[in-house]
Structure 1
Amino acid sequence: MYNHQCRGRPHHDVTLMFKIMYLQAKYNLSDEQVIKDIKDRASFMWFLDYPEKIPSTSSLRNFRDRMGDTGIIDNIWFQHQKQLSLKGYNISEELLIDASFLDAGQGSYSAPRGDEAKTRRSRDGTSTIKNNEHHFGYKIHQVICLKFNLIRTFKITTASLHDSQITFNFNKNHIMYGDKGYIGASFDCYPAHMLRKSNDTIININRKRRNWRISRKRALVERPFATFQEHGQDYTKLTTIERNEAKMLIATLLFNTKQLLTLQKMKNKTPTKTIKDTYENLFDPTENLPKLIKIRESITNMKNRRKYRIKLNKNKHYSLFIKNRKQKKTKKTLKPQKFTKKRFNKKLGYSFNS
């Protein structure tokens, strides 16, 4: 990233800058706020190994630009995937793909875009409409493995680019599950996307069931987007695609570290024994005959105790168990009706009670 032969001030430590960007992604802090919190919080200083010099906001922006210009983002991502494979988390055959918006401040709509644009808002951002909602900014496309639920690849594009225009290079052995937006996408692996109604295809019962099965598998792909929203990474103030790639690199690493912690907890947990597992080996009379005898003896003892308890209760509370035969049932008699009013009928010529 840096040329050490040139003259000038020495650059800051690369690991220090990378850790500061990680704190930004975790706590959703701006460049100015991170440097203020580093000076105030002891936990941040401990995480950064108590640096002698704290970088400024301009050095953070320049570091983010250098990551995009030098192409070191791909190298970092390759090393991260290599570390995952060394730990045993290899890419599974079944993959999930989905996209989400990174909304940005639009500013004035008539302002020019591109590299020549003099705007503080977004230079590369574009606008689109989805489900009658207006979105402006960028879009993140990511692929997740179904077995470990870890992010394997990601791309940052503008918001107006359709999902079917994205391609990812995977082997033919892999299966890619996608929603209806990926119809027509060209993948090297087998595309198992959901179907929608068109002139060529009619959605019958079998295809509806197929879409339902794919949607159940695809439910896990929404988890990273939920964590991005939790940490405030679904909104961006950066103006170019390269800067947003550097930002979302840290966000994806943050999600993968969280998922690795959950996978380690699942490994360390003792598996809960079911009834089938506990009594699986008890039904073999040749090996576990004394265990069976103990179980039968305990069951008979429990039955005998229950019978004895019932007898004691009968003697104590005799009236609850045996009905008193001396009590005779009384016949129900009709109660006489009470007439409150008298009325005279002119046609009949007599009065009656009502």
Structure 2
Amino acid sequence: MAGMPGFFDVDERLKRLSELGDQLEAYAQAVDFEAFRSELEKALAYATGAKGGRPPYDPVLMLKILVIQAANGLSDERAEFLISDRLSFMRFLGLGLSDRVPDARTIWLFRERLTKAGAIEPLFARFETMLREAGYIAMAGQIVDSSLVAAPRQRNTKEEKDEIKAGRIPQAWTERPARLRQKDRDARWTVKFTKARPQADGTMPPVDIAVPAFGYQNHIAIDREHGLIRRWLVTDAAAYEGARLREGLLDPTNTSKAVWADSAYRSAANEDFLEKHGFVSKIHRKKPKGRPMPEATRRANNAKSKVRSRVEHVFAQQKARMGLFVRTIGIARAKTKIGIANLAYNIRRLVWLNRTAVA
């Protein structure tokens, strides 16, 4: 009968999705998600079920949902809807049309348990092992940079801001627990400067453009050869990025000791640290204060920029395609969200590397 679904209609639709290039199908082919099971079970420590009750969803399935969220910039509610709506999402998760779909609350609780267990680092480390086993070892040096990740802006009074900076909770918040739960006391304001553009008459404005931002920073180190994130850290937006170089951000296993970074990372402390640990500094030099940039320094910085600019592609992917935005409260949850986003980026990058290797 016309309009009635046929027995093979779903299979035909999935086949067509594959022909069109289902990104999630490529993820499933490139990554053995079962390899994450041991870390997930260790972190979640689910009960045996001896006391009864509905069993929890499979942790690997739930991790895949977080990857879907990160890759598409989805909220928990939107993820629940699209998993129920899209055949490509169902296939990636191994769900049928009649299977139960985790609701938004279940997704939130799963991510919360990962956060409390500090599980994102072991999961990321497990994927790093998978990359190395596949032949994608860190090579040709590393590039370091950071990017602001926006969070919902807080509307606080000056007195409340002063209390937060002093490490205290404003009295009015302690009296209203519901309000306190909605206040992010870890995120910070910062100002990002953008070079001013020439005016219509060709003259340059006397000052650069200052753009205020609120949230966190994603500090990453990628390897030059493959463009994969090898190390990462999360701080509030106001933290000085240059100091993160000395806080475990560099990968000592890279086959080259060269380190590229912009001038924000140029300091005597960083140069001493790099030399002490056997790294070779390729960090941009700063313009002398009150004097023009020497021509030799300008040419050297331009040469370094051709390598260093590759890290900007990572942030462009995360912000434009993945819509990275922190919707959670507190740096611990932000770390999980950003860590999953870094993992999702690496999965996307791995798919591309595999495809180009075959080509």
Deviation, structure 1 residue 130:
1.8
Between the aligned partners of 2:120 and 2:312, the Cα distance in structure 1 is 24
1:199 deviates by 5.9
Aligned to 2:126: 79
Q: Secondary structure at the match of 2:144?
A: strand
Match of 2:102 in 1: 55
The 3-state SS of whatever aligns with 2:121 is helix
Sort the Cα spacing of 1:236 and 1:22 in 2 relative to 1 into closer, same or farther, 3 A: same
3-state DSSP class of the match of 1:236? coil
Structure 1, 138-147 or 5-14: larger mean CA deviation: 5-14
**Per residue, is there more helix in 1 or in 2?**
2
| Amino acid corresponding to residue 224 of structure 1 in structure 2 | V
Rounded Cα–Cα distance in structure 2 between residues aligned with 1:155 and 1:115: 25
Superposition deviation, residue 63 in structure 1: 1.6
1:35 aligns with 2:80: yes
Which structure has the higher relative contact order (CA within 8 Å, separation 6+)?
2
Q: Deviations over 1:194-215 (max 9, x none)?
A: 0113469984222111111111
Could you say if the C-alpha distance between residues 216 and 137 of structure 1 is closer, same or farther in structure 2, counting changes exceeding 3 Å? same
Deviations 1:14-65 (A, max 9, x none): 1111111111112221111111222222222222111643223222222212
Q: Quote how far apart the aligned CAs of 1:115 are.
A: 9.2
Q: How far apart, CA to CA, are the structure 2 residues paired with 1:100 and 1:107?
A: 20
* In structure 1, C-alpha distance between the alignment counterparts of 2:46 and 2:340, rounded to whole Å: 24
d(CA) in 2 for partners of 1:134, 1:146: 31
- State the alpha-carbon separation in 2 of the partners of residues 267 and 217 from structure 1: 21
Q: CA deviation digits over 1:320-342, x for unaligned, max 9?
A: xxxxxxxxxxxxxxxxxxxxxxx
Q: 1:2 maps to what in 2? A: 45
Query: Which residue identity lines up with residue 191 of structure 2 in the other structure?
Result: I
Quick one: which of 259, 263, 268 aligns to 1:180? 263
Contact in 2 for aligned 1:233/1:251 (Cα 8 Å): no
Residue in 2 that maps onto 1:295 = none
CA deviations on 1:174-195 (whole Å, 9 max, x unpaired) are 2110001112234443332101
Q: Aligned in 2, Cα 1:69/1:190: closer, same or farther, shift over 3 Å? A: farther
Question: Take 1:71 and 1:115, find their aligned partners in 2: how far apart are those partners?
Answer: 25
CA distance in 2, matches of 1:174, 1:200: 33
Which residue identity does 1:176 align to in structure 2?
Answer: V
Q: Secondary structure at the match of 1:74?
A: helix
Q: 1:133 to 1:245 in 2, by over 3 A?
A: same
Secondary structure of 1:257's counterpart equals helix
Is the Cα contact below 8 Å between 2:231 and 2:251 reproduced in 1?
no
Q: For residue 60 of structure 2, what is the aligned residue in structure 1? A: 15
Aligned length: 269
Find 1:151's aligned residue among 210, 229, 233. Answer: 229
Choose from 240, 255, 267 the match for 1:162: 240
Gaps of 5+ in 1: 270-354
Q: Which residue is equivalent to 1:217?
A: 307
Is contact 2:217-2:235 (8 Å) kept? yes
CA distance in 2, matches of 1:196, 1:47: 48
CA shift, 1:121, in A, is 5.0
Instruction: Find the aligned partners of 1:103 and 1:229 in 2 and give their Cα distance.
Output: 10
**Scaled by the length of structure 2, what TM-score is found?**
0.68
DSSP-derived class of the 2:69 partner: helix
